[in-house]
């Protein structure tokens, strides 16, 4: 059977649909990028996957695949075998920049992402009037959270 955009006009919505479907993959690349401080490693210079991998103790092929994923979502630019920060990473993921959001990204990864991990299970097990039966964290997260979100609020 032959398909064309004329016979399936909904296909124009496919990129938006796939963007939603793969959002978690993009988020995990961002979280790992921030955790490894790739933007800091590439501070105003270009390096190969091997050089970056040696810095963070990750095998070259694995590093190259990860860096290519970072290129695909706009965190890096690649010329030949050299990777460098994109404007996005330079602006928001370098800790020496005014609007650094790396700590906020790490917070999403460590605190927010796990809460959403089993959404289906949480929905199926939720009962009206029940609250989570978790022990509240004893640490004061107020100052930490405020510091992480400061640049975002600016």
Structure tokens at 53: 């991998």
Is residue 22 scored above 80 in pLDDT? yes
What local confidence, expressed as pLDDT, does residue 113 receive? 85
- pLDDT tens digit sequence for 23-60: 999 999 999 999 999 999 999 899 999 999 999 999 99
Q: What share of the chain is helix, strand, coil (3-state, %, to 5)?
A: 60, 5, 35
pLDDT cut 70: percent of the chain above it: 80
DSSP string, 128-140: TT----PPPP-S-
């Amino acid at each position: 059977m032959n398909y064309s955009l004329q016979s399936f006009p909904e296909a124009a919505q496919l990129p938006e649909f796939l963007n939603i479907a793969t959002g978690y993959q993009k988020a995990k690349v961002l979280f790992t990028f921030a955790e490894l401080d790739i933007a800091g490693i590439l501070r105003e210079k270009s390096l190969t996957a091997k050089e970056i991998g040696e810095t963070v103790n990750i095998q070259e092929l694995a590093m190259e695949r990860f860096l290519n994923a970072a290129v695909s979502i706009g965190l890096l630019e690649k010329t030949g075998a050299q990777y460098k920060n994109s404007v996005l990473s330079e602006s928001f993921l370098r800790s020496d920049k005014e609007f650094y959001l790396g700590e906020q990204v790490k917070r999403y990864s460590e605190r927010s992402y796990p809460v959403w991990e089993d959404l289906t299970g949480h929905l199926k097990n939720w009962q009206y009037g029940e609250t989570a039966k978790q022990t509240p964290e004893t640490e004061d997260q107020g100052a930490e959270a405020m510091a992480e979100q400061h640049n975002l609020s600016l």
